[in-house]
Amino acid sequence: MWRSQAFSVSHADGGAFQGAGLRAFFEYRDLGIAGATGGRFGAHVIRAVPGEKSPAAWHSHTLDFQMVYVTRGWVVFEYEGKGEHVLRAGSCVLQPPGIRHRELRHSDDLELIEITAPAEFATHAAEAPA
């Protein structure tokens, strides 16, 4: 029910990107959704750190929902049983809970929005799928 959520507004000119996120080759800007929903949902803008590359490590997340929408640039993900996918501006992917995946490469101008449930979740290193 909406009453268990607080009103929240986030503006680009007031939001700062932080480098202390899940991946060192990305910067994150919190959109205030975690605070407004008591941590039930999270949303942030992620952008590439120019010149930094992904180690292409397989991993999975313990969460209930993860959606990625690319707003600028491109990124190549590989998913267990689904192969490689090039996501460009306007591309959207729903990553099912626990699916093994890895980010292979991205453009220096990559920017995307990620929405998760819950806001905080565990990430686990994973073996490459057979």
* DSSP string across 101-117: EEEEEE-TT-EEEEEEE
pLDDT, tens digit (0-9, with 9 covering 90-100), for 77-94 = 999 999 999 999 999 999
pLDDT, tens digit (0-9, with 9 covering 90-100), for 84-129 = 999 999 999 999 999 999 999 999 999 999 999 999 999 999 999 8
Distance CA 15, CA 104 (A): 28
* Global pTM exceeds 0.85: yes
Distance CA 34, CA 50 (A): 27
